Structure 1
Amino acid sequence: MNALGRHILAEIHGCDSDVLNDRVAVEEIMVNAALKAGAEVREVAFHKFSPQGVSGVVVISESHLAVHTWPEYGYAAVDVFTCGDSVNPWDACNYIVEQFRAQNFTASETLRGVLVEANQKAAV
């Protein structure tokens, strides 16, 4: 079986709350994560909430990276979705974990757009 993309959902804990609450820092980390993974950045949109927290998305030619932070809990929810074989989403995810100075994280990968071979019938 082949898939169109790989989607990583990461639960990142024990992060530096000052980093998570800094829109400029979070944006820079997410953009650099995309670049380090070999992606082509297309659009960037980030928002700082009051009194705290940052949300944002980096649109890449290969799909996207998104983040939502809760500095008061030292927690970030991150997803990295890449299509094709030229970008490794784990490279981006691991970079983000490192830059957020996380104590621990868990992540799961889901294949998106799983393609069924021509000689197989899709289950309905």
Structure 2
Amino acid sequence: MSLTPEQRIQLHEFNNLTKSLSFNMYDICYTKTKEEREKYIKYIDNQYNADRLTKILKNVAELIGAHVLNVAKQHFVPQGASVTVLVSEGPVVEVPNESYEESPGPLPEAVVMGLDKSHITVHTYPEYHPDEGISTFRADIDVATCGEISPLKALHYLIHSFDTDIMTMDYRVRGFTRDKSGHKLFIDHEINSIQNYIPDEIKEQYDMIDVNIYQENIFHTKCKLKEFDINNYLFGYSKDKLSDDEMEEITERLQCEMDEIYYGKNINR
């Protein structure tokens, strides 16, 4: 719900608060052979290529009400991709006409100085266990804004944009701004959990843990899918191709991998 002009806090100047959302997703897969693993990584690289990631980030910018200033994207060898979108809260009048879209390096100083210190980035990390079997794909998305626009508005869209087994989310408000009297404001909205910004139908699908430091305006939520269907984790075949012993072993390995990521520690089983 948007506030009326009378309800808004009257600030001294620009809102200098920095709001940062880090969204990390993990996709787990069982690849029985080296050939299956290579096919899975190729599939992931194609599914989450730089062009599709750019489209997702541009949609994020639109959702939070930001203006896209510049895009840099890069594919990596042997796998993975990165995209950085520089944005501002309001339109910037003087932006050079040159295109730096394909450049992975720093942008010209004239562009950087025109920002409201806001950006959206994504990096992908396909990887696998050294003795085959488990393959894990991770994508890290960071949305940092300065001003009134909030990265939390894009959270629902980000969850739906990725096929996600495990999610970790961090939200932090940094710095301060001032009202007309000079009084410092260290946060400009009420929040007690990132879960408040996740729809109920999504929360019902996940186990969730919060770790929040309210006095520092730091909020952390991690999520793991409740239901487990081994067919969703086999690449290129289904469980009817497995013996009972194979299915039990693969299930144990997959669930161990997910638990280790969710709890952030190695588990001996």
User: How does the TM-score come out when normalised to structure 2?
Assistant: 0.39
Alpha-carbon RMSD: 2.4
Contact 1:19 1:26 in 2 (8 A): no
Q: Which residue of 2 aligns with 1:68?
A: 123
Helix, strand or coil at the partner of 1:98: helix
Match of 1:19 among 24, 47, 51: 47
- Distance in 1, Cα, partners of 2:71 & 2:159: 20
Name the structure 2 match of 1:59.
86
TM-score normalised to the size of structure 1?
0.79
Q: Distance in 2 between matches of 1:119 and 1:80?
A: 27
Alpha-carbon spacing, 1:94–1:110, altered in 2? closer, same or farther (3 Å): same
Equivalent runs, 1:64-103 vs 2, <5 Å: 64-72=119-127, 73-85=136-148, 87-103=149-165
1:11 CA drift (Å)? 1.7
Runs of 4+ deviating beyond 6 Å: none
Report the Cα distance in structure 2 between the residues aligned to 1:12 and 1:61, rounded to whole angstroms. Answer: 26
CA distance 1:11–1:34, shift in 2 (3 Å):
same
Q: Which has the higher helix share?
A: 2
Instruction: Indicate the residue corresponding to 2:133 in structure 1.
Output: none
Q: Tell me which protein shows more strand as a share of its residues.
A: 1
Taking the aligned partners of 2:125 and 2:183, their CA distance within structure 1 comes to 47
Q: How many residues align?
A: 117
- CA shift digits 1:74-94 (9 cap, x unpaired): 211111111111x22022233
